[in-house]
Amino acid sequence: MRIFIRPAQLEDSLNLGNLHQVLLEETSFMLMEPDELPRDAEFWEHRMASFLNDSKNGFWVAQNERGMLVGFLRMHGNSSLRLAHSAQIVLGVKRSYWGQGIGTHLFETGEQWAKTHGLVRLELTVMVPNRRALGLYHKMGFVVEGLRRQSIRYSHGEYVDEYLMAKILSP
């Protein structure tokens, strides 16, 4: 099955909300609990509009041949002058599409955009037990810069450490 990577659009709002819900239910490695985000179209449209209307941000979706969104990569830029050279990344891919190169393609697309927008540093956090994501991030050139101890607390009380990872882009 062919996958297309394209910029996210406001019209994707509800479908992105649905994708987020699936991701939250499929894995415990996303930031939020499954029922933490609203599911209504108005919430997602407002959230997307504010993100997409900021030129410091980048957002791409992975879409299959049937038009279903199966993954995303979001870059959140910084407004302060001393941090304007960097962006934070969030990535999510549906479990049934893991291992097909979608994360790699999303990262490549995002990195090209970052270079054309003057970004030098890309950052992300990843839960230490998320070995699959760690493998992808290392493959994409990210290195561990620090450990955030007990940074995530699941609703059942378990704490999880996170790595802070970054990549310095070459010109």
Closest residue by Cα to residue 71 from 79, 82, 61, 80: 61
- In the chain, beta strands by DSSP E: 3-7, 58-64, 69-77, 86-93, 121-127, 143-153, 159-168
CA gap 166, 125 in Å, rounded: 9
One-letter identity of residue 77:
G
Closest residue by Cα to residue 31 from 42, 20, 40: 20
Instruction: Using the predicted structure, report yes or no on whether residue 30 has a pLDDT greater than 90.
Output: no
Q: What is the pLDDT of residues 66-106, one digit of tens each?
A: 999 999 999 999 989 999 999 999 999 999 999 999 999 99
Q: What is the pLDDT of residues 109-167, one digit of tens each?
A: 999 999 999 999 999 999 999 999 999 999 999 999 999 999 999 888 999 999 999 99
Find the CATH number of the domain harbouring 105: 3.40.630.30
Percent of the chain at pLDDT above 90? 81
Cα radius of gyration rounded to whole Å, the chain: 16
The pTM of the full predicted model, rounded to 2 decimals, is 0.93
Residues spanned by the domain of 96 = 3-168
Closest residue by Cα to residue 42 from 23, 17, 21, 59: 17
State whether the Cα torsion 74-75-78-79 is positive or negative: negative
Q: How many domains does the chain have?
A: 1
Q: What are the start-end ranges of the H helices in the chain? A: 13-26, 41-52, 102-116, 131-139
Q: What's the pLDDT at 126?
A: 97
